[in-house]
Amino acid sequence: MRAGVRCLVAVAVFISTGCGGGGGDSLPGHSRPILEHDWADPSDLSFGAIGFTPPDPTAAQFEAPSGLRAYIVTDPSEPLVRLSAAIPLGRLREGTGEAGASALLTRLLTTRGAAGATRPLTLSLAELGTTLSVEETLDVTKISLDVLPEDWRTGLELLVQLLRNPDLDASAVRQYRVGAGYSMPMSGTGGSGFRPKVELARVVAGYPLAPPDPGTTVSLVAIRGLASRSLAADRVVLGVGGAVSRSDVEDAIESLSDGWSTGTAPVLGLNSIEPNDDEGRFHAIDVPSLEGWIAIGKVVGTVPSADQATLAVLRFILAERLNIAAREMRGLANRDEFEIPVTGSGTGLLTVRTGGRPEAVAPLVRFSLDEIERLHDPSAPVTDVEIKRAQGWLVNAVWQPTLGLATSASVAVAVEHARRGGTDRLMGWPRAVRAVTAADVKALAERYLDPETLVTVVVGPLARIREARHPRWPIGLDEVAASLTGGN
């Protein structure tokens, strides 16, 4: 038992000067002795094969005569029922003249209730004891609610009516203005409203990767056009998961969707976002703030299916390296993360996001870029240990729980279908991830993460950031900017 022996050797070498209580050696400063044990090193623990069988989406699928599709995953032991709708809605689904329509349509759906409803949506939800949960991405919008098992039929009717008969109130449409697209003040690097990421998207590609310009209005024609494509019976995908009877749900869906039209015009889906012409590699935006916030990245076009698992593995490894470099070793930031797109085609933004106090900003940019450059260093390989860890996490910590419960599984397969037209990729994900090698990751990094193509955006109190120097890593922001722009 390697670890146990190591512990005992250390104790034998060490001469305690601690307060020492009760015999046995102590760690410096401790009053109690080191616990000697013979526990195996964690890496030497061996576990049984993970026995998880996901639900079969093919068996869970139901299609009503209207064309409305649903994934019904039942489990009588669930304490609630999750009802969800995955809608092909997002900025990538907007056509000419429809910029901003997705966000507005989502807002109308989730605040106004169905057209002609006799009671406010808020009251209907309150009577169910629930609220709507909304998640918007570039290509799919998900709306869901949790209800008690006794209320599933009422909840399903509410959800279907919202989608089938949206209240596209002309006055609400006319009053709407696209917002900034980001949240202020920033505190932390999370959330879709992280301003540096939004500004990065504006710089590298603009709309539709970035939100439309603030103040943009949306026409009623645009809303109606988008709604006709995205909210048709054969476009929305429902998820129903939990303590329900499958046959009852099928009957209800059939009844509720009777007469609901299918779409005529095809759903739009921009597969590849094109980058802007070179707008420079460094941008700084002055905002009064206690800290400075950073996004580093680029836009990618279509990511072939064969590359998507490798990209996910790369994401995990780079995020780990960034956090160790910035947070653990240097205490510069609370987080230093790397994100990849969540779209059907893989198009979107590759982003590092981080931030910290003013004197940490320039070092954070420098060390983050260093970690990306290290991916290309032939003498610093991606290791098999890193690969295995990424695989274990992607399959057993992300994929498995997504499909582990009836509630979550029904949502996951519905969203996947709305995004990709089927569930093959989702169900084949473990195999794809386990096939990734270190060589694959290195090769992908070469193709997608050339440091010379990355753009850096800094948002914060620029005067303070510029004059600040971290006493341990005295890198100046202007120095970093010059290295990225060649002094221009």
Partner 1 sequence: MRILLAIAFLTSAALLSPDATSVSADTGTKTEAPRPTVQAGSANLDIQEHVLDNGFTLLVLEDRRMPRVAANLWIRIGSMQEPTGLHGMTHFLEHVIHQGTTTVGTNDLSAEMPILQDIHDTEQELIAVRNRERNQLRERDVFFDELAWPGTPETDALRERLYKLEDQDNQYRDFWTSYNAYMGNGGYARHADPVPASTEQDYMEINMALPKENLELFFRLEADRMANAILRGWEAQRFTVLEQILGGQGNPQTRFNQAIDGVTALVHPVYRADGGHLRDFGNFNRAAQQKIYDDYFVPNNAALVLVGDVTMAEAVPLAERYFGQLPRGPEPPADLDVEAEPVPGGAIRLDWTEPLSPQVHVRYRIPGMGHPDRPVFDLIAALVSGPHGIAGQRLASGGTSASVSADFRVIHTSRFGSPGAFNLVARAGADGELAAVERSLLATVDDLLNGRIDPGALERAHKRLRVEWAEFLANPQELAFLIGHHHTMNNWSVLPALVETRDAATAEDVQRVAQTYFVPSNRVIAVARAQPAEGSGPSWLDFVWSDLPADGR
Kindly identify the residues of this chain, within the stretch 116-135, that bind partner 1 according to CB under 8 A. Answer: 120, 122-123, 126-130
- Three-class SS state of 310: helix
Q: Strand 292-300 relative to strand 336-339: parallel, antiparallel, unpaired?
A: unpaired
304 touches partner 1 (CB under 8 A): no
Work out how close the CB of 88 gets to partner 1 at its nearest, in angstroms, rounded to a whole number. 23
Residue 177 binds partner 1, judged by CB under 8 A: no
| Closer residue to partner 1 in complex, CB, 276/396 | 396
**Does the footprint of partner 1 cover residue 379 (CB under 8 A)?**
no
**What's the min distance (Å) between Cβ of 384 and partner 1?**
12
Greatest extent of the chain over all pairs of C-alpha atoms, in Å: 83
DSSP 397: I
| Closer to partner 1 by Cβ: residue 185 or 214 | 185
Q: Which of 456, 455, 469 is nearest to 358 (CA)?
A: 469
**DSSP for residue 324:** I
Q: Give yes or no for a contact between 144 and 158, defined as CB atoms under 8 angstroms apart.
A: no
Give one DSSP letter per residue of 228-251, joined into a string: HHHSSTTT-EEEEEES--HHHHHH
Is 94 a binding residue for partner 1 by CB under 8 A? The answer is: no
The smaller minimum CB distance to partner 1, of residues 75 and 254, is found at 75
Binding region for partner 1 (CB under 8 A) out of 47-55, 103-111, 438-446, 447-455:
47-55
Q: Tell me, what DSSP letter sits at residue 267?
A: P
How far apart are alpha carbons 85 and 246 in whole angstroms? 17
Do the Cβ atoms of 194 and 339 come closer than 8 Å?
A: no
Q: Which of residues 440-459 bind partner 1 (CB under 8 A)?
A: none
Q: Is 393 exposed, middle or buried (0-12, 13-18, 19+ CB in 10 A)?
A: middle
Nearer to partner 1, 23 or 266 (CB): 23
426 with 416: CB under 8 angstroms? yes
437 binds partner 1 (CB under 8 A): no
* Residues from 315 through 374 that contact partner 1 (CB under 8 A): 316, 320, 323-324, 327-335, 356-360
By CB under 8 A, is residue 3 in contact with partner 1? yes
Tokens encoding 235: 């476009």
Closest alpha carbon to 83 in 96, 72, 98:
72
Nearer to partner 1, 209 or 252 (CB): 252
Least distance in Å: CB of 275 to partner 1? 29
Inter-axis angle of helices 152-164 and 101-112, nearest 10: 140
- Residue of 97, 188, 214, 428 interacting with partner 1 (CB under 8 A): 188
Judged by CB under 8 A, the stretch of 14-22, 162-170, 339-347, 449-457 that binds partner 1 is 14-22
Figure out which of the listed residues 247, 261, 396, 437 binds partner 1, where binding follows CB under 8 A.
396
Write down the least CB distance from residue 352 to partner 1, Å: 16
Pick 357 or 434: Cβ nearer partner 1: 357
Least gap, CB of 450 to partner 1 (angstroms):
27
Per-residue x/- marks for partner 1, 255-294, CB under 8 A? Answer: ----------------------------------xxx---
Q: Which of 37, 177, 376, 447 binds partner 1 (CB under 8 A)?
A: 37
Does residue 161 belong to the site contacting partner 1 (CB under 8 A)?
no
Q: Does 428 bind partner 1 (CB under 8 A)?
A: no
List 107, 389, 425, 442, residue binding partner 1 (CB under 8 A): 389
Task: Confirm or reject binding of residue 23 to partner 1 (CB under 8 A).
Answer: no
Tally the residues of the chain.
488
Q: Please give the C-alpha separations between residue 278 and each of 131, 239, 421, in angstroms, as whole numbers.
A: 44, 43, 35
Query: How many chain residues are in contact with partner 1, going by CB under 8 A?
Result: 108
Q: List phi, psi (to 5°) of 165.
A: -125, 65
CA atoms within 13 A on the CB side of 324: 7
Residue 176 or 207: the one with the smaller Cβ distance to partner 1 is 176
- CA–CA separation, 135 vs 142, rounded Å? 5
| CB nearer to partner 1: pick between 75 and 213 | 75
**Phi first, then psi: what are they for 252, rounded to 5°?**
-65, -45
Distance CA 176, CA 198 (A): 20
Of 134, 127, 115, give the one whose Cα is nearest residue 151: 127
The rounded radius of gyration (Å) of the Cα atoms in the chain is: 26
Pick the closer one to partner 1 by CB: 13 or 277: 13
Site for partner 1 in 230-249 (CB under 8 A): 243, 246
Query: Of 84, 226, 470, 481, which one interacts with partner 1 (CB under 8 A)?
Result: 470
Q: Is position 191 an interface residue for partner 1 (rule: CB under 8 A)?
A: no
Query: What string of DSSP letters covers 442-481?
Result: HHHHHHH--GGG-EEEEEE-HHHHHH---SSS---HHHHH
According to CB under 8 A, which one of 14, 67, 157, 366 is a site residue for partner 1? Answer: 14
Nearer to partner 1, 120 or 304 (CB): 120
Which residue of 279, 472, 482, 485 would you call a contact of partner 1, by CB under 8 A? 472
**Do 297 and 365 form a contact (C-beta atoms < 8 A)?**
no
Nearer to partner 1, 192 or 396 (CB): 396
Binding residues for partner 1 restricted to 133-152, rule: CB under 8 A: 146-150
